[in-house]
Amino acid sequence: MNQLQLQQLTEQLSQQFFGKEFRHKAMFNDRLKTTGGRYLLRTHDIELNRRYLVEHGREELIGIIKHELCHYHLHLEGKGYQHRDRDFRALLQQVGAPRFCTPLKAVQQKKKTVTLHYYMCIDCGKHYTRKRRFDTSRYVCGICHGKLKKEGGKA
């Protein structure tokens, strides 16, 4: 699917499900990694992740376009367009758009291989497990305010 076909599909879905015209650009952004698409508030354009089309097919892409069109139309109407807003959730349900997109396989693989970092308080022996490494000279134990030392995990 090229940019022109994507634009036509987005315009067609907007007319079919929302009864409104889509007057801005819909485009693929190959730099998107973890999200299926995004609606740009300043330009009113919609960017979509091409990998969702390749990995999950046309139906998944249509769901993502409908989701982004919900943001688009509600924002232009001055209604609640954010994920937490009641207007947004109601419109998602009305048009049958997904709230979240199916994760990509590459992202799922990356989540499985998370390195954990282990720390221990020298004074009270309290153990801490963290996904991110931190500088032990800048932090103290939350229980006794003692010094922390790195135990295991990746250094």
How many other CB atoms are there within 10 angstroms of residue 6's CB atom? 20
3-class DSSP assignment, residue 91: helix
Q: How far is CA 111 from CA 56, 67, 108, in A?
A: 19, 25, 5
- E-state strands within 90-126: 117-121
Query: Maximum distance among all alpha carbons in the chain?
Result: 66
- Taking the CA atoms of residue 142, residue 144, residue 145 and residue 150 in that order, the dihedral angle to the nearest 10 degrees is -70
Rounded to whole angstroms, how far apart are CA atoms 106 and 91? 30
68 counts as catalytic: yes
Q: Which of the following is catalytic: 11, 47, 60, 68?
A: 68
Strand partners of residue 129: 118
Q: Which amino acids are annotated catalytic? A: 68
